[in-house]
Structure 1
Amino acid sequence: MIDQTRRGELEARLLARRNGKARADVLPHQPPHLPVPLSFSQERMWLYDRLEPNSSVSNLAFSFHLAGPLDTAALAEAVAEVQRRHAVLRTVHRVSTVDGVEGVAVQEPLPEPLPAPPVHDLSAAGDPLAAGRAWAREAAELPFALDTAPPFRWHLARLGADEHLLLLCAHHIAADGWSESVLNRELGALYDAFAAGRPSPLAPLPVQYRDYAAWQRARSTGPAFQSAVDEVAERLAGVPDTLALPFDRKPRADSGFGGGTLAHRLPADLVAAVAAFAKARSASPFMVLLAAFGTLLSRHSGQSDMVIGAPTAGRARTELEGLVGFFVNTLPLRVDLTGDPAFGELVARVRDGALDSYSREDVPFEQVVERLAPQRDPGRQRLVQVMFQLHNTPACPLALSGLTVTPEQVFTNSSALDLTLSLIDRGDELEGLWEYRGALFDVATVRRLQHCYEVLLRAAVTDPDSPVSRLPLLPADERHALLHTRNASEFPREAACVHELFAAQAAATPDAVAVSGDDAELSYRDLDLHANRIAHLLRRHGVGPDVPVGVLLDRSVQLLPALMGILKAGGAYLPIGTEAPAPRVRQLLDSARPPVCLVRPDLADTVRELGSEPIVLTPDLAAAAGEPDTPPDTGVTPEHLVAVFYTSGSTGAPKGVMCRHAGWANRMQWMQRAHGLRPGEAVLLKTPLTFGDSAVELLWPLLAGGRVALLEPGRHRDPRAIIEATLRHGAVHVQFVPGMLGLVLDTMTDDECAQISARVRTLLSSGEAISAELVRRFRDRFGDTVALDNTWGMTEASIDSSLHVCDGTDTAEGVPVPIGFPVDNCQTYVLDEHLEPVPVNVLGDIHVGGAGLARGYLRDPRRTADAFRPNPHRPGERLYATGDRGYVRADGQVVHVGRVDGQVKIRGARIEIGEVEAALHTHPDVDDGAVGVWEPSPGDRRLVAYAVPVAGAVLTPASVLDHLKRQLPSYSVPSTALLLEEFPRNPNGKLDRKQLPLPDESSARRAAYVAPRTPVEELVAGVWCQVLGVERVGAHDDFFALGGHSLLAIRAVVQIGSRVGTELAPNLMFDRTVLAQVADHVEAAVLADVSAMTDDDALAELASQPLLG
């Protein structure tokens, strides 16, 4: 299985361990009256209990249906004798002082078991067995009070004359899976003896669990032990601290451990195939199943390196085999999928890594975690968040003489880990139990994981030479739903050019107003006639199908005939900003090579000098006077170009998007079907012509019989001007980028809000992600009276490709607003690198297909080929790779997360900038937020949070970072926060990231030491120094950044509470990690205690508390 050198090393270790297991000496006995510190694994369970004192997350439950005459007295005495034999079952766990150290958890056995509980009579229930099972579930979830009561209890329910239900419950601090067999074996032997009047047949136990705990603690100080811990830690060096999973809800510090369990079966043929494959690869079925599980998690997380926990019995000595107790250890197994190995190669990697790990299975997991010191992630366990186990040795069954005993499965609705997969041998099949945290996962998500695991496992053992990234993952029905069902957007559309649809509308409503400004307007008839004349003029200058015509005109009544004239000439309009600097104009003209440009008078010389022929358009359109009034015959078709829009390129060179008539006609017809603009209703044209959204504001109303209402040139970034123009022109539809929408909401008066509510039907947000906070502010102002549309798209796909109509569900904190479903005759996909759909909730690359796609990039076949590819899911059609990242929600809507180039790697962790920004937007005092990357020195990449405060709010960089610490994994929290009065924006109002300021280099260094400033801060600092073993602690220092961990945090809380005489919440320093925050809470807690006292007692307490002086 492995090379000879490593084989020899492993054999030597295993022989040494076997010899140790067989040796005759016993563990040293501990005096029964002395408290003993907990074992390392017990300490972890105690920590869970302190943080979640009313949780059943660590409860174990074993239930049995008993049929036949039961001797209840014999059963009670048998259970009591088991408790007498195993002191761990009658032990309380308290905080004490050990060797002068306060806050240490210890175990102290009670002299005798608690009395037997009364029998619960359910015989009168309509269905006693069903009632008994419900009763057992409730009883199994009752929390244990570890500091005052034993961690074991039992219950008996009478279902009938000769029918009972027995429930044994233990806290994990006192028992593990192996203990079930010990309990069953001893309970059966004792019951049989006592029922027959015989004494106990069991030999005395050689040791107690507390002896083992003390031995383990003493052993941990030796050099050999520390060397073994170092070896395991080195094996895990560089692995990400946490595993990104397809959560339905993000982990939070207060997520809790409530959960559930889903069961499914792996069929016999698949189990046989796994066994055969494992044998052929000199591996065990466990290794093959783990490799497949790691592949499943990698495909759902995007991580190629991870740690998955696997339990091991932890009973390396013979005298421990017959004990009840928590011996099980967690092995952190590294699953490395870097380089996209074939599945067979991955199995070999997993095999070698597992053998290494099992040779060090006696190294306590808790010590490995402490050595690695992974960063804390709010609401998640450190290092291992996912567990995998294969049970192929059944527990010893409970057998009671004269009774038929049937095990009953009891699931507690809790889970300490995010996800655990337990595979249990059921003969030819494997039963899979998927235990999950309900705060993070929906049942449907876990069920999808089950199905994906089976599909992937079958494919892996069938085609082990396939790279793991190419293994099929989705069941056929789910794949079809993601590719086709959610993309069922086909809708009849008229195959025509944009100007043809306009001409038809002009013929239908010739006298209606087509465009209006503050001082002029044009009817449909006049606009059509002017456009025809301009078209003939352009034809004489060589304009025809696919020929671009530059446009350097202001937003005015004359702009619309100019644009429509270009289309009627067969050409494509090329918008060039009138305020664009000469180098930008030259760049576009050199790239597009338009033979002619329609220009403002003062720009004619500039255009001529740059090599294009200018045609000056004055307000009276005199340049086209005398041209024919009828449209020219051009032969243009819907596949010809309607416009060429230049967008920024990653290389710095702009890309000319060749937009087709067919795509834009489909886009405008969908817009009309979705929003139903009525004849004469106005749409505000406010977006600069160089941005794609302007085409919707221009063309949609002209094709639907509506009116284009013009915002005064240069006022598109003035929220006051936009509000006034909307009301003055009676616009019923206005579109914004989210940043401008926020400014408009802040600027409008209550009276203006009421007027807009009465007149405007739809406000549309596009161009950037809209936050839940902005949706909430919108709904606070407008309620349901005005619709808020969130659209997403790009120029390459006719501007917008999907729509989500926002509602009250989009205001939930921490939940991103989706971009919805595709528009008519378009498709949106979230795909992997092989253009296969990714599962629900899994990040992938967003692609667009369908009628809206542009032809490509002008004179740039390489970039066209890179971005526009054949659509493997709709033969004969194309896909556009948007460069955006996102995922599909369970309801089929897409959520946009950010850009592919917005994905950064910092300290080995892959981070989506968009996710960090979404968390930033949930801060109640942040009006707008952004996140950037800063590299103060080569290789030292850091995140920077930028925030604009809500008007009147008191926002500090510290509060921003503190908020993000509670929302995000530690590796995703920016190192610095900067507050800005406003964000730099481009002419369209979008955030200009290149203009965001960088922090001063001094802020890269640790903040200057600030000495404790109050008596309480001094007290807390003193405790921290003692617990952490450091010389000094400042008011702004973070406990965990100084090297603290969970157990030390609880120990510090105990010591602080002892010094101030107030009981503090154990999780105090998990919610507040900075010294000043902790001190503020301690002072508040003391004052709260004082306020609850009588006046005399309160005065006495204040007098004795110099801290509060």
Structure 2
Amino acid sequence: MHRDNSIQNIKSPQFDKRETEQSVAKRFENMVALYPEHLAIKDRNSSYSYTALNEFSNQIAAVLNQRKDLVKAPVVIFLDQGSSFIATIFGVLKSGNYYVPLDPDFPFDRNSLVIKDSGARLLLVNDDTMAQAAELGDGQLEIVNIDTIDQSISKQNPTTDTSPDDLAYIIYTSGSTGNPKGIPQNQRNLLHGCMRRTNIQKITSDDRLTMLYSCSVMGSVYGIFGALLNGASLFPYNIKKYGLAGLEEWLLKEEITVYHSVSSVFRHFIPIIKGNTLFPSIRLLIFGGERVPYKNITMAWKHFSEHMVILTGLGSTETGTVRYFVINRETHIENQIVPIGYPVEDMEVLLLDENEQPVPRGEIGEICIKSRYIANQYWNLPELSKKVFKVIGDQENQILYKSGDLGLLTHDDLLIHKGRKDNQVKINGFRIELSEIELALMKHQAVKEAVVAVKENKNQEPQLTAYFCSETGDDIPVMDLRSFLKVQVPVYMLPTQFVQLASFPTTPNGKIDRKALTSVDTASLNGEEKSMEGLSDMEEHILKIWNTVLGVEGISIHDNFFELGGNSLLAARMLAEVETISQKRIPMAVLFTHNTIRKLGSVVSSISMDKNWSSLVAVNITGKNQPFYCIHGVGGNILNYQPLAESLGNEHPFYGLQAKGLNGQETPLFTIEEMATHYMEEIIEHNPDGPYFIGGSSFGGRVAFELASQLRQKGKEVGLVALLDTSVVYTHENIALGEKLVSNELNSWLRRVSYHINDFFATENSKKIKFISQKIKTIQRRQKNKNWQKKYQEHINQEGTIPLHLQDVKQACYQASKKYKMKPYDGKIHLFRAKDRGFMIIKDYDLGWSNFALGGVQVIDVPGTHTSILENPQVEFLAEQIKACIAEYIS
């Protein structure tokens, strides 16, 4: 039974404004006294009570206080997100110093600039970041490893003279000079910001808050202090490390009550939630850091309590939160973008024109914030500070901050966001100065000019587009630019599109015309010139075929087929047309290594009809561990395994087994037993000793099962047998072998009917009509296709452009599956089962395998459908599970 989650009904103690006139450490210590054994923080590796977290922080503070020259000074924290980072934050604050958070995942040069600009002389690290920190410090900085702190050091609260005016932190954001800029904030402002959010969100000691942000950005401040200055519990979760796939289970397991992220993270998370999953504990969703599309709101209601509410708002590193908008199921929103919201305590919003005069209500002006509780300068940037911050002469301690955002106020004081005044944008919750990316691009020796702009893609989501000109006029490979930028800026600042131009459009006064620039055709995803010059005849043919098959114009000869939206079916169509032009059979597996027009054209020209055919295809040969062999699906080719091969990384070499007959010269194999024997011979020739780690998706899983049996019969050691959402073959012969399955036709029919009935009652009421409609269509389709050959012919007719030899391979696989007489296997198998079963009938949770795997079946649920578990982002979770299973076997 869950409590009433309505924000209006929560009785929370008010965070009194008088409590902002103290130090952050003092407020935290008061919470420790009130909730000594209450859970303070828990990550995947550790958890701390308030007392334990306080004692850990006290020891860090004691180490810092031993350095007499470290008084109210910046201290860099260089740790991965988690409990240690947060304990270190409080340790720095307790010592009377202020912290400068750094993310080890950010580029070396950027982190180096932050250290230098902050003036810090000391870095706090742990064992995991020691090596990186030593390189950053370059012998000039003192480094303290918190993992080696002497445990005999005092755990008592230190006595430090810290006033509300003393700095708490410097957080760095993207800077207009091309370098990140620091924003210092004092203790009073941090506490006041925490007070504003606490009183609006009604945070209590019963709450359990997420922290999905890097500790180096402002979003982390909201989570850390919103929880730990209120006696609540904080749960950091590293999305970059663990992905979105595990977030659902984690939210349920930890009984999270307050979820906070940028809306784009939530937008990508919602689609992979299991169909009927509910999060009854979550009472509050908070979206911050970027504009919130209304579709994010509508997506949320399906999985949360009817009392759950959503908060959006406006805030910045300079000001903290200045506006909030509360949404429940009855809230009406007229536009597709959720408003910024209504006023919060002690934060006055003014809309000013170019002369700093108020604009009339209903007109657009620059959003300016007036308050005593905001930053008053940028760190070491006096000229920029004068432009952005202004001391209000007639009011003591009042600061006016010019945000650069545009907005308008409605008649009831609701603030609506209207974009950016300058060149600063927010993408996926990160504030980005476009000029920082531009300057980084222009460091490339071949780039003459560069401009970065924001354009909306087909889904109306903003993305970064880089326009550039080369010094010589020659094409600059986009892969070179992307690789170059990766060491200059964080990943979230990498442009999605690159467009090379001969010159930039200009305004009458000679400045670059950014509006005209964003109207330039960006059909070419990588910005290469569209000229056909230098292309061979075959490359020209392939280019035209790609344009047609992919529906994309302006493709470059260096574009990757799969990055342009290609998949295995489109590859089959594309190669069929290439074969017609070239009069050569082209193995589909060549697209693993020849996936650009230039590479494909080269291999087509060099293909010899006499080349020996091999079912074994090396997809990724790097890695010292035993290979993973993955067998084709019913189509015979292995291109659909490309995302899995990439996600498995370089730990295990990846080899695919493609079907005989794909080259159009050999006869396909028509039984699973023959296929397994043939693949076993090629595998043993490649890897005589084993052990063997094998798998396959759907039909390929059945072949892998048979292959495992044949390997065992030859005395070979079999490790992992990975069946990727593969069910047993429900023929009469196989049913007779299974103890749990009935063999006569009547009982089998009754059993199927019972599954339909159970599925119907398990379906939500709102979806029952759709369920019945879908079942009727399925019955009609099965009746129509009762004859297998007729069904297959209709399937071929639907696919149309697939070459006859590929159709033959698929027909052979269908026949092999239909005839397969399964025999018990004396080993263990791992079934990676798709969570989303759609309207499929589920006969057994293990899809029937417990009847045939005498060594047992380990079922691992994977987010996604039968096909999407092999696609991003679900395939990342699948790959991690496969690696874990192999590691368990090896250990």
Flag the structure with more relative contact order, 1 or 2, with Cα contacts below 8 A and sequence separation at least 6. 1
User: If you compute each CA radius of gyration, which structure gives the higher value, 1 or 2?
Assistant: 1
Alignment TM-score, normalising by the size of structure 1 = 0.38
